[in-house]
Amino acid sequence: MFDLIIIGAGPAGLTASIYASCFGLKHLLIGKLVGGQMTLAPDILNYPGFTEINGQELTNKMLEQAKKRGGEILTDLVIDITKVETGFLLKTEQNKAFETKTIILATGVERRKLNIPGENEYVGKGVEYCAKCGKFDYLDKTAIVVGGGNAAAQTAVQVGHSAKKVFIIYRGTELRCDTVWAKHIAENPMIEVIYNSVLTEISGDGQKVNSVKIKSKNSQNQEELKDLVIDKVFIEVGGVPGTALLLPLGVKMDPGGFIAVDERLSTSVPGVYVAGDVISHKYSIEQITSAVGSGARAASLVFSFLKQSSAPTLWGSSQIKRG
Ligand SMILES: Cc1cc2nc3c(=O)[nH]c(=O)nc-3n(C[C@H](O)[C@H](O)[C@H](O)COP(=O)(O)OP(=O)(O)OC[C@H]3O[C@@H](n4cnc5c(N)ncnc54)[C@H](O)[C@@H]3O)c2cc1C
């Protein structure tokens, strides 16, 4: 019987493990891909303490720290969770079963891809899934943003501060973003929305992206193909949170399938905590800093839950066992 099982070994899960060790919790971390999405980041520029670091290198450092603090890590996939009298029973792909008093779900998000020619080839060479992660300098650059929701609109506004031109490519007839973002877009002459359109191909010189093909429908509903010369492609078409495992437990989710939490980051089911990208966007942003913060917070909540403490606080508690 574990005090805690952490599901997911990205930055949120690894941080939760480091803190669980500090709190003296008997815990196990089960993750399919150690480092999670962080391993895909070629160049992390916004993680404090490192001016610039490769995602795999940051993963190795977090993993080493988690192990050094005493964390036990299993590379496996959790496929089932059931509520039992003493807590929860977890089953894995490798036919293992574990009992635990509490759970932290840190299974991240699988970002949607367009699955078009050139997309995989130019990831990190002009094709990005995260404008917040970039070099923040788009001066004299032309960018396209694919998508029509809040993430796409926010990216267009952010990039539109400095870029020469930003095209939003959206398949619908009206953006789905909040009105505040739609207003910023409408007021910025550098941003142009191309409606009824999809991206069909991304091209470049092998080293960096330089053009895209777009298929649009004109006012007579006829299809038109267009080439655009561009420097950057931001793909912001959402992602699928790894939260299906919690459905049978009745954990409340938001309409996008992300976990609903209260202001203390607790879920609707006692003993079940969450960290990282799976948390509803109201309380989290899809970034490594946010993931590590909520990983620490979740471990703190578990500690308080197990101690039956009524007022969980991370920094003020004298109950914290420093490892
Ligand atoms: C290309 C790219 C570049 C990025 N660049 C940056 C950047 O520069 N700066 C930044 O701050 N952020 C960046 N991000 C975002 C950042 O990587 C994520 O916000 C962060 O990794 C989320 O952490 P997480 O721990 O919540 O989830 P993830 O990193 O998604 O980790 C989830 C973990 O859960 C595991 N898992 C899923 N389901 C199960 C299951 N059923 N059983 C067991 N394990 C499971 C996965 O294998 C993985 O280990 C980037 C993302 C991408 C895709």
Quick check: is 120 in a domain? no
Give me 284's structure tokens.
């989290």
Q: Evaluate whether residue 321 is within a structural domain.
A: no
Does residue 58 surpass a pLDDT of 80? yes
Residue 134 has what pLDDT? Answer: 64
pLDDT at residue 162, rounded to an integer? 85
Rounded to the nearest angstrom, the distance between the alpha carbon of 46 and the centre of ligand 1 is 15
Confidence of residue 78 (pLDDT cuts 50, 70, 90): very high
Residue range 300-314: mean pLDDT, rounded: 72
Per mean pLDDT, which range of 121-125, 163-167, 214-218, 314-318 is the poorest? 314-318
Q: Say yes or no: 10 and 59 in one domain.
A: yes
195-209, pLDDT tens digit by residue? 999 999 999 999 999
Can you tell me which atom of ligand 1 is nearest the CA of 45? 8
Residue 35 falls within a domain, yes or no?
Answer: yes
246-256 pLDDT per residue, tens: 999 999 999 88
* Per-residue model confidence as pLDDT tens digits over 138-185: 778 999 999 999 889 989 998 998 899 999 999 999 998 889 999 999
Q: Which residues contact 212 (CB under 8 A, 6 or more apart)?
A: 144, 199, 201, 202, 203, 227, 228, 230, 233
On whether both 196 and 274 belong to a single domain, the answer is: no
Domain-located, residue 250:
yes
CA nearest to 294, candidates 305, 303, 304, 284: 284
Mean pLDDT of 212-229: 90
Q: Which of 130, 135, 265, 284 to mutate to test the pocket of ligand 1 (most atoms within 8 A of CB)?
A: 130
Chain mean pLDDT for the chain: 90
| Same domain for 261 and 228 | no
pLDDT at residue 276 greater than cutoff 60: yes
Residue 108: partners with Cβ closer than 8 Å, 6 or more residues away: 8, 10, 12, 36, 37, 241, 242, 276, 277, 278
Percent of the chain with pLDDT strictly greater than 90: 74
Q: Which domain holds residue 204?
A: 127-235
Q: 293 and 155, same structural domain?
A: no
Calculate how far, in angstroms, residue 108's C-alpha sits from the geometric centre of ligand 1: 5
Residue 41 half-sphere exposure toward CB, CA atoms < 13 A: 27
The DSSP letter of residue 119 is T
Q: How far apart are CA 42 and CA 179, in angstroms?
A: 34
- Protein residue with its CA nearest to atom 38 in ligand 1: 107
Over residues 32-53, the mean pLDDT reads 90
Is the pLDDT assigned to residue 110 strictly greater than 60?
A: yes
Longest Cα separation, the chain? 70
Domains in the chain: how many in total? Answer: 2
Contact in structure between 66 and 156 (CB atoms under 8 Å): no
Q: Which residue lies with its CA nearest to atom 53 of ligand 1? A: 37
Q: Does ligand 1 lie within 6 Å of residue 153's CB atom?
A: no
Asked if 152 and 97 sit in the same domain, the reply is no
DSSP H helices, the chain, are 11-22, 55-68, 150-160, 179-187, 288-306
Q: Is residue 151 part of a domain?
A: yes
Cα 243 to middle of ligand 1, angstroms: 13
Crossing angle between the packed helical segments 288-306 and 11-22, to the nearest 10 degrees: 40
User: Looking at 235, 251, 283, which one is the last position of a domain?
Assistant: 235
Q: Which residue has a Cα nearest atom 5 of ligand 1?
A: 41
231 plus 253 within the same structural domain: no
Over residues 125-148, mean pLDDT: 83
Q: What is the DSSP string of 207-242?
A: SSEEEEEEEEE-TTS-EEEEEEE-SEEEE---EEES
**CATH of residue 107:** 3.50.50.60
The phi, psi pair for 263, rounded to 5°, reads -65, -15
> Closest Cα partner for 148 from 176, 120, 185, 181?
176
Residue after which a domain boundary falls, among 182, 214, 235: 235
- Same structural domain, 95 and 141: no
> Is 178 in the same domain as 259?
no
98 lies in the same domain as 160: no
pLDDT at residue 315, rounded to an integer: 35
Q: How many residues does the chain have?
A: 323
Ligand 1 atom nearest to CA at 275:
26
* 52's tokens: 């610039």
Which amino acid belongs to residue 247?
A: L
Q: Is the CB of 234 under 6 A from ligand 1?
A: no
Residues 179 and 198 in one domain: yes
User: What is the percent of the chain with per-residue pLDDT over 70, rounded to a whole number?
Assistant: 94
Q: Say if 323 falls within a structural domain.
A: no
Lowest mean pLDDT, pick from 32-41, 71-80, 125-134, 197-206: 125-134
Q: In what order do the strands lie in the sheet with 223-229?
A: 197-204, 209-217, 223-229
pLDDT of residue 206: 94
Give the atom of ligand 1 at the shortest distance from the alpha carbon of 47. 11
pLDDT on residue 19: 98
Pocket test for ligand 1, best of 63, 128, 236, 288 (most atoms within 8 A of CB): 288
Residue 118 in domain = no
* Distances from the Cα of 237 to the Cα of 2, 126, 145, angstroms: 38, 17, 9
Ligand 1 center from residue 36 Cα (angstroms): 4
Q: Is the pLDDT of residue 284 over 60?
A: yes
Q: Check pLDDT > 50 for residue 321.
A: no
For residue 301, the model assigns a pLDDT of 95
Q: Record the tokens describing residue 76, joined without a space.
A: 């496996």
Residue 318 has pLDDT above 80, yes or no: no
Check whether residue 225 and residue 243 sit in a common domain.
no
pLDDT at position 136 is: 60
Say if 317 falls within a structural domain: no
